Amino acid sequence: KQEVTQIPAALSVPEGENLVLNCSFTDSAIYNLQWFRQDPGKGLTSLLLIQSSQREQTSGRLNASLDKSSGRSTLYIAASQPGDSATYLCAVKGNTNAGKSTFGDGTTLTVKP
């Protein structure tokens, strides 16, 4: 059974700081990993999708990496802004249950002005 863990559960940083969010998963046989952003009480916004054959993906100030062998992914946010404050979730799609994504419980980020 796939398990996804995100550490830390909460993070508070001053504006302008670069930061890294962590995601680990127990079963390395995955098809892809997706990072999402969730604002309070809202749905999920897709940030980056990394296929199992890829090592990283970049979009603007965001960079996500994937190391399948160690069961880890990181989301790097450069030059953080107060508007980045949200909960960040990672989801892993495995090859034993095609179509099902397993989520972590998220990291809640607060960027202070």
Partner 1 sequence: DAGVTQSPTHLIKTRGQQVTLRCSPKSGHDTVSWYQQALGQGPQFIFQYYEEEERQRGNFPDRFSGHQFPNYSSELNVNALLLGDSALYLCASSWAGINTEAFFGQGTRLTVV
State which of residues 32, 63, 74, 85 lies at the interface with partner 1 (CB under 8 A).
32
SS3 call for 47: strand
Distances (CA, A) of 5 to 16, 81, 83: 26, 25, 25
Is 36 a binding residue for partner 1 by CB under 8 A? The answer is yes
State which of residues 24, 73, 80, 102 lies at the interface with partner 1 (CB under 8 A).
102
Between 50 and 77, name the residue whose CB sits nearer to partner 1: 50
Window of 12-20, 63-71, 77-85, 92-100 that interacts with partner 1 by CB under 8 A: 92-100
Window of 14-22, 31-39, 68-76, 77-85 that interacts with partner 1 by CB under 8 A: 31-39
Window of 11-19, 67-75, 77-85, 89-97 that interacts with partner 1 by CB under 8 A: 89-97
- b/e 7-30 (16+ beta carbons within 10 angstroms → b): eeeebebeeeeebebebbbebeeb
State which of residues 24, 34, 65, 73 lies at the interface with partner 1 (CB under 8 A).
34
Vertex 61 angle, CA 74 and 88, to 5°: 45
- Residues lying near partner 1 in the complex (CB under 8 A): 4, 31-32, 34, 36, 41-46, 49, 51-52, 89, 91, 93, 95, 97-106
